[in-house]
Amino acid sequence: MPRSSRLIDNRKMQCPRTRGGNIDPSPDGWESTNNVGSQPQGARASPEAREAPEKDIRTFIRPTVAEVDLGVVRRNLATLRRAIGSKARIYAVVKADAYGHGAVPVALTLAPLCDALAVSLVEEGFELRSAGLRHPIVVLGAFYNRHHPEVLEEDLTPVVYDPADLDRFSAAAVRRGARVEVHIKVDTGMSRLGVSVADLPRVLERAAALPGLAIVGLCTHFPSADGVDPQPTMAALDGFLPCVAAARAHTSGGPLIAHAANSAAAVRFASARLDAVRPGLALYGAMPSSVVALAGIQPALRLISRVMALHDVPAGTGVSYGGLWRAARPSRIATLPIGYADGYPKHVRGAEVLIRGQRAPIVGAVCMDMLMVDVTDVPGAALGDQATLIGPDGVERITADDLAAWAGTISYEILCGISKRVPRHYVGATEAP
């Protein structure tokens, strides 16, 4: 049985559904304050209402959604292309569920516009193949656990750091009567994965002698490309270039793609672009650090919810677990149905959300499923008001970097950490490039 038929087909997976109108049938985007938990419930729905069209229960019941603008992702790629020029290939990195944006929809959007897709895990490559994507897919994480035949079967391009994997891929290719193309990873200073510079000539000789195997790529990773000091990156590049020359000498004149640049290196160091670049975070509208800047990059994700309860509390009242925050004045507290089980960081300090275009502070401990916000200074705050946790509202905006700073982490972790129970709602899928 082909591997693709044994994999979970995400296109066929259906979530539970219920009956009713659209998710936002009312003009203000909220069904009715009669449906908010703190309000008295009205009469049961009429038979006519029960016969309304089906809709996704995940977005109908709880109003917490990550909205992903695929048009923005597409435009970010175009911005990167203009910045790096037309010579270097682009391997669009969609690992970690496309940094929390949804691997399959993002990959379907980017595939026609890039030279290859890049993932970390073999399983991530299988997911894309199961969704029907036939574009080249490079597996950067290089952990195969003796599933080398399946990698070939699904036509994934493996990156190899362990010389023993060269033998395993060769044997799998010979059994299939096929040829496998691999990239070798070189460690130029990160000390994470990769063949050492000193060992590379021996590994190349070993690869050249193996049947059914061709070295078509050589790669490394720059761990400090987003740092203030460019010297570590330039030193790593200086160490990598002789490796590229040595690899080309072993390919008997065949093509060899050298790639090393992540988002930061692709933007900052023209000499590091080589034959291909591997942008990840920049595709989604964030930058690895404040020293990496590229005009035109826009965030593609909004994280939004709505006010599910309001409480007027007297001064001195504690809020959330442990009563760690206490009202210094009579206050109005709003509850939002989003918590750390959804990926919102528990240990934020000074965090804010946007309600009615105004900043409102999160107060008390973030709970597993909910968090509380002080809306005392938000005039007219009401049940059903939209709350923006990442994204714009009027002239105000909260970025993934803002939330990362409040949580003492990085934007990568914020975006990747938005959990699967937060539905992704996609817009901009059909707009022109």
Q: Is 420 a catalytic residue?
A: no
Structure tokens at 225: 């490309």
Pick the closest to residue 431 from 10, 73, 80 (CA basis).
73
Strands 352-355 and 386-393: antiparallel
Pick the closest to residue 289 from 236, 225, 220 (CA basis).
225
Catalytic residue among 91, 284, 321, 346: 321
Q: Is 99 a catalytic residue?
A: no
Structure tokens at 247: 């690899």
Catalytic residue among 12, 87, 91, 95: 95
Pick the closest to residue 263 from 248, 247, 282 (CA basis).
282
**In this structure, how many other beta carbons lie within 10 angstroms of the beta carbon of residue 254?**
11
Are the C-beta atoms of residues 407 and 414 closer than 8 Å to each other?
yes
Taking each helix axis from N to C end, the angle separating 200-208 and 163-176, rounded to the nearest 10 degrees, works out to 10
Query: Which residues are the active-site residues?
Result: 95, 321
